[in-house]
Structure 1
Amino acid sequence: MAWTKKHTQLNDVLSDLVPNKSGINRFVLAAGLQPKFIDDSGNAIEVWNKVLIEADKRDKVDDLVKTVLDNYPENPFLKSALSSKEIDYSLSPDIDKVSKWNAVSAETLEVLTMGQSTLLPINFLSKGIIKSRSVAKVEMKIGTNRYNVGTGFLFKVKGIEDLFFITNFHVINRRSDIPKTRIIFDYEQDIYGNSLPSKSFEIEDGKVWYCSPVNQLDTTIFRVKDFDNSLNKYGYIELKEVEISDSEFVNIIQHPGGEMKQISLYHNIVTYRDERKIQYLTDTLKGSSGSPVFNSDWEVVALHHSGSEKKENELALPYGVKSRNEGISINKIIEFVRNNHIS
């Protein structure tokens, strides 16, 4: 078997969806594979690796994906695995290589298990829709039918009239990639579940190209070409310095896996913050790099840049809750813009 990036990403997705070895066997059988030919020793990631190798040998990888897709019909990564278009959504840096992960406390878990009210005014939904207009998919062509994907958003900083777009440094950081990259707005569904007509923009290769590497702010800021003022439709998010505390809730608007726009609203809670970073529990998926992290007042508190699963020695989390997510403090990014930009 020629193990490709697509197989690695599929292995990651399957072990995320079915993390217990005891649950893997039924998918193996449903795909027409024989368990006796698959070594089930090791953790779930290792077992899924062996399952994929056997499925590839029998030309049944698509059959395997379809059986899991029956249980998770909206999962963007399973759907993309059946497509001939190759999406590289493994963009996030390893948290342990760029930051110290601060473990989740028992007090935070108490809040997460409904120790705090989650009631919000109904206008929370309307405000969120307005903010979401400025969020776009970032798509970079890296070969024939192969793409890198991420997320970003239009913004302004108080006191500066210029309109900027921001995403992660690890999504795009070379000027030579500008011609290959598109910023795509309205890549989402309407209230009836129909696809909206999206609009694609190019990056302006001009004096605004502010980059900070992964181990610092993991940020790239630029302008988007707008020849006919059509960007006005999408507005912008005004960034301002904000304070955030542990156990506050956050929400992320994102393009996971390069799929249509989605929002993470459940199980989202801040676990740690300092001057540079904010760490939180929330459901982010690969391809969410560069997404705005909002508080409950729809103020941006961070630029999402990394996420991974909890380690064995960390406290057990409620079922369905993901751990080890991190964003760069928006206060540091505002400071970065002001220090670099000359009107």
Structure 2
Amino acid sequence: MAWTKKLTQLNDVLSDLIPQKNGITKFILAAGLKPQFIDDSGNAIDVWNRVLLEADKRDKVSDLINSLLDSYPENPFLKAALSSKEIDYSLSPDIDKISQWNAVSADTLEVLTMGQNTLLPINFLAKGILKSKAVAKVEMKTGTNRYSVGTGFLFKINGIDDLFFMTNFHVINRREDIKKTKIIFDYELDMEGNSLPSKSFSIEDGAVWYCSAVNQLDTTVLRLKDDNDELKTYGYLELNEIKIADSEFVNIIQHPGGEMKQISLYHNIITYRDERKIQYLTDTLKGSSGSPVFNSDWEVVALHHSGSEKKRDEAELPSGVRSRNEGILINKIIEFVRDSHKN
């Protein structure tokens, strides 16, 4: 019995959804498994690992996923796990291997929990819709019925006429993968909940290709093929150098797990910033690598590139809040593109 990457990803998802051991048993029973055959020692990640091993042995992985979908019907990773298409959404590098995570301060938690005014003008929503048009799904075929996924966006920089597309270096970084990669716009729902007709573009080979490694800016900048002048439909995000305040709120437009476009609006607050990166609490899901991080004025402040869960010795956060997320400050990326483009 082989432990596949798909099971590894599913183990991660399940321990994320149900992080307490005492919440696991009901799903074991609902899947037709017997709890007495499963060792419940260790933490929730360990228990879910053994549950999946037992489910795989008894050909009940789908039953287990369906039992969880009853409680989490919109979870994109559970839905993807039932698909025959194998999707790699665990693209994000481990934040502990590429950065030092800075603990959340008491002042930041106070902003989250003490009822700070979060009212915004109603045109905030209309502006967000316009900005979202430039955000696309990145899909790379990695084998027979296997794909890796991420997010990216069209952008321009003041003083440069070229229209660029940006994602993470860890999403795409090899020219030989260009022909296997599609950039998909309008992969989302309309006002009635129906799927919009999406449009795919390929990457222009032999054109712009600016890369900065994971432990630097984790950025790949490229140009899309647009023979029929169709990209203008999606606009672009104008990048400008910005200043970020402590405990500022951010919003993230993304394609989590390769699913349709979504937005993360709640609980997102900056916890740390320096000249290279920002770190923030967020309810962003896995698979959001390459997403633009916006402030409340819909200015791009960072390129999202890494996230992980709270460690055991870290302070408890308010319900629903996920921690340990990081983006590369957009000022550094603007500087990188300017320097690369003039050479």
TM-score (norm 2): 0.99
Aligned pairs (5 A) from 1:105-120: 105-120=105-120
CA distance in 2, matches of 1:117, 1:261: 28
Partner residue, 1:99: 99
Aligned pairs (5 A) from 1:276-291: 276-291=276-291
CA distance in 1, matches of 2:235, 2:168: 20
The one-letter code matched in structure 2 to 1:262 is Q
**1:109, distance to aligned residue in structure 2 (A):** 0.6
Partner residue, 1:134: 134
Partner residue, 2:337: 337
CA distance in 2, matches of 1:131, 1:257: 21
1:174 aligns with 2:174: yes
The one-letter code matched in structure 2 to 1:195 is S
CA distance in 1, matches of 2:53, 2:45: 12
Partner residue, 1:309: 309
Partner residue, 1:27: 27
1:272 aligns with 2:272: yes
Q: What's the RMSD between the two structures over aligned residues?
A: 0.8
CA distance in 2, matches of 1:342, 1:183: 26
Partner residue, 2:228: 228
The one-letter code matched in structure 2 to 1:105 is S
Partner residue, 1:39: 39
CA distance in 1, matches of 2:313, 2:44: 17
Partner residue, 1:161: 161
User: Structure 1, residues 99-119: CA drift from partner, whole Å, max 9, x if none?
Assistant: 110000111111011442110
CA distance in 2, matches of 1:206, 1:243: 35
CA distance in 1, matches of 2:311, 2:40: 21
Q: 3-state SS of the aligned residue for 2:108?
A: helix
The answer to whether the 8 Å contact 2:137/2:152 transfers is: yes
1:122 aligns with 2:133: no
CA distance in 1, matches of 2:293, 2:316: 24
The answer to whether the 8 Å contact 2:207/2:223 transfers is: no
The one-letter code matched in structure 2 to 1:215 is N
**1:287, distance to aligned residue in structure 2 (A):** 1.3
Partner residue, 1:247: 247
User: Structure 1, residues 226-269: CA drift from partner, whole Å, max 9, x if none?
Assistant: 01111010000000000111210000000000000000000000
Q: 3-state SS of the aligned residue for 2:10?
A: helix
CA distance in 1, matches of 2:285, 2:177: 24
User: Structure 1, residues 168-202: CA drift from partner, whole Å, max 9, x if none?
Assistant: 00000000000000000000000111000000000
CA distance in 1, matches of 2:136, 2:114: 32
CA distance in 2, matches of 1:171, 1:57: 33
Q: 3-state SS of the aligned residue for 1:224?
A: coil
CA distance in 1, matches of 2:313, 2:328: 25
Q: Identify unmatched segments of 5+ residues in structure 2.
A: none
**1:79, distance to aligned residue in structure 2 (A):** 0.3
How many residues in Structure 1 have an aligned counterpart in Structure 2? 343
Partner residue, 1:216: 216
CA distance in 2, matches of 1:15, 1:339: 43
TM-score (norm 1): 0.99
Partner residue, 2:75: 75
CA distance in 2, matches of 1:284, 1:204: 30
CA distance in 1, matches of 2:256, 2:5: 17
**1:206, distance to aligned residue in structure 2 (A):** 2.3
CA distance in 1, matches of 2:295, 2:176: 35
Aligned pairs (5 A) from 1:59-74: 59-74=59-74
